[in-house]
């Protein structure tokens, strides 16, 4: 792509981020100092569309950036200008108000980012990645009912009821709980997807129907934990792309699925920050969204993952600037702690 096409693509993306309206050649020629006529801009836009960097929605004369266009913009044209001073001051103020723990700090920062960007923010609490299973106890409370108690290295999960179609003896339940414990002891909860637990059932001798109920109950006990926090649903609904609640419903439904959230936050992160755009996202509800996320912590202590979900025309530069500042901020805190 030559320099002129890059300038025009950059101008289109900047304009579309602000307006959420398809951009025409006259608008570009009038509002941006491109040094060429509207006719030349129009021809270049046609070339950019043919190359896959722009799309023409409906019968509009204007064009919008494609996922490929945004990817080129993020990888080749987006130069970090640092964090806006106002954003840095707000983050510092949140810390100075002495939050009770890192979780509260990140939740408040997540709220700040949602307010600034009008996008949704997700925070993955650290307990999800560090807890490992120690014991599984099953306490019968009748022929067809029992209570599962799951104990981790960080304490017990909430008790979870179990129901069986047929009577199961106390001895059988106790034996199956021991077998489950032997297979899963010291395994991280983060790896216990329903698919993995079903595979575990194949390794254990015993009545398959009962084993599957144990696996489902264990997964339910893990998934019920308040591990993921989301803020900014209202802000996301304010975006023009999501005025129709039907477009947001699949996103909200996805946030209730533990496995999908794990996959979302497992995306690779170049230079500590991961960016997936539109069709690059594996989850179907995110095909029209961009996700910017960053991990926080080091090899000794994982603090968590912060992810921002919004339309593909989100303000990449500002959000990346905030996440980069947060990473530097946390590193500085760790260095100060090590000096003491």
For residue 340, the model assigns a pLDDT of 63
pLDDT in tens, 157-166: 778 899 998 8
pLDDT at 254 over 90: no
For residue 299, the model assigns a pLDDT of 54
Rounded distance, CA 294 to CA 270, Å? 9
- Furthest C-alpha separation in the chain: 84
Per the CB < 8 A criterion, the answer to whether 190 and 166 are in contact is: no
Sign for the pseudo-dihedral over CA of 24, 27, 31, 36: positive
Strand partners, 136: 150
Residue 309's pLDDT band, with cuts at 50, 70 and 90, is: very high
Per the CB < 8 A criterion, the answer to whether 242 and 236 are in contact is: yes
pLDDT at 270 over 70: no
3-state secondary structure of 222: helix
- How many helices (H) does the chain have, and how many strands (E)? 14, 11
pLDDT in tens, 36-91: 988 999 999 999 999 999 999 876 678 999 999 999 999 998 876 678 889 999 99
Strand partners, 151: 135, 156
Taking Cα atoms as reference points, which of 53, 51, 120 lies closest to residue 286? 120
Rounded distance, CA 323 to CA 122, Å? 13
3-state secondary structure of 299: coil
Strand partners, 55: 64
Domains and CATH numbers, the chain: 3-65 (1.10.10.10), 85-126+226-338 (3.30.450.40), 132-224 (3.30.390.60)
Per the CB < 8 A criterion, the answer to whether 13 and 65 are in contact is: yes
Per the CB < 8 A criterion, the answer to whether 308 and 291 are in contact is: yes
How distant, in Å, are the alpha carbons of 81, 101, 248, 272, 326 from that of 88? 13, 20, 30, 19, 9
Per the CB < 8 A criterion, the answer to whether 59 and 24 are in contact is: no
pLDDT at 24 over 60: yes
Q: Greater confidence, 301 or 149?
A: 149
Residue 292's pLDDT band, with cuts at 50, 70 and 90, is: very high
**DSSP designation for 158:** P
pLDDT in tens, 184-228: 999 988 778 888 899 989 989 999 999 999 999 998 888 766 567
Per the CB < 8 A criterion, the answer to whether 123 and 304 are in contact is: yes
- Least confident range from 229-233, 269-273, 288-292: namely 269-273
- Report how far apart the first and last C-alpha atoms of the chain are (Å, whole number): 52
pLDDT at 314 over 70: yes
pLDDT at 258 over 80: no
Rounded distance, CA 97 to CA 162, Å? 44
For residue 225, the model assigns a pLDDT of 63
* Tokens at 222, concatenated: 């893990």
For residue 302, the model assigns a pLDDT of 65
Rounded distance, CA 111 to CA 122, Å? 9
Tokens 């997964």 locate to 219
For residue 22, the model assigns a pLDDT of 93
Tokens 């998934």 locate to 223
3-state secondary structure of 157: coil
Rounded distance, CA 295 to CA 274, Å? 9
Strand partners, 122: 230, 307
Note the pTM of the prediction, 2 decimals.
0.71
């Amino acid at each position: 792509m030559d320099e002129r096409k890059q300038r025009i693509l950059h101008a289109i993306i900047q304009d579309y981020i602000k307006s959420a309206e398809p951009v025409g050649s006259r608008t570009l020629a009038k509002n941006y100092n491109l040094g060429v006529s509207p006719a030349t801009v129009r021809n270049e836009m046609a070339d950019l569309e043919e190359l896959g960097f722009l799309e023409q929605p409906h019968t509009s004369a204007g064009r919008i950036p494609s996922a490929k266009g945004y990817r080129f913009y993020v990888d080749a044209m987006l130069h970090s200008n640092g964090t806006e001073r106002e954003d840095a001051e707000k983050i510092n103020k949140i810390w100075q108000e002495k939050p009770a723990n890192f979780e509260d700090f990140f939740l408040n920062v997540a709220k700040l980012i949602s307010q600034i960007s009008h996008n949704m923010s997700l925070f993955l609490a650290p307990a999800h990645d560090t807890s490992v299973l120690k014991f599984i106890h099953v306490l019968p409370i009748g022929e067809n009912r029992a209570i599962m108690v799951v104990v981790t290295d960080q304490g017990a999960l909430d008790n979870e009821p179990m129901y069986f179609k047929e009577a199961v003896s106390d001895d059988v339940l106790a034996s199956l709980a021991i077998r489950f414990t032997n297979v899963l002891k010291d395994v991280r909860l983060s790896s216990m997807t329903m698919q993995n637990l079903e595979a575990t059932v194949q390794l254990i001798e015993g009545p398959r129907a009962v084993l599957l109920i144990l696996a489902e109950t264990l997964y339910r006990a893990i998934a019920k934990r308040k591990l993921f926090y989301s803020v900014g649903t209202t802000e996301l609904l304010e975006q023009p792309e999501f005025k129709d609640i039907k477009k947001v419903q699949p996103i909200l439904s996805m946030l209730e699925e533990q496995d999908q959230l794990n996959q979302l936050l497992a995306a690779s992160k170049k230079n500590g920050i991961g960016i997936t755009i539109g069709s690059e996202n594996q989850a179907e509800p995110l095909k029209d969204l961009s996700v910017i996320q960053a991990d926080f912590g080091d090899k000794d202590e994982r603090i968590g993952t912060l992810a921002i979900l919004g339309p593909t025309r989100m303000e990449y530069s500002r959000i990346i600037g905030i996440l980069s500042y947060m990473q530097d901020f946390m590193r500085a805190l760790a260095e100060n702690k090590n000096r003491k």
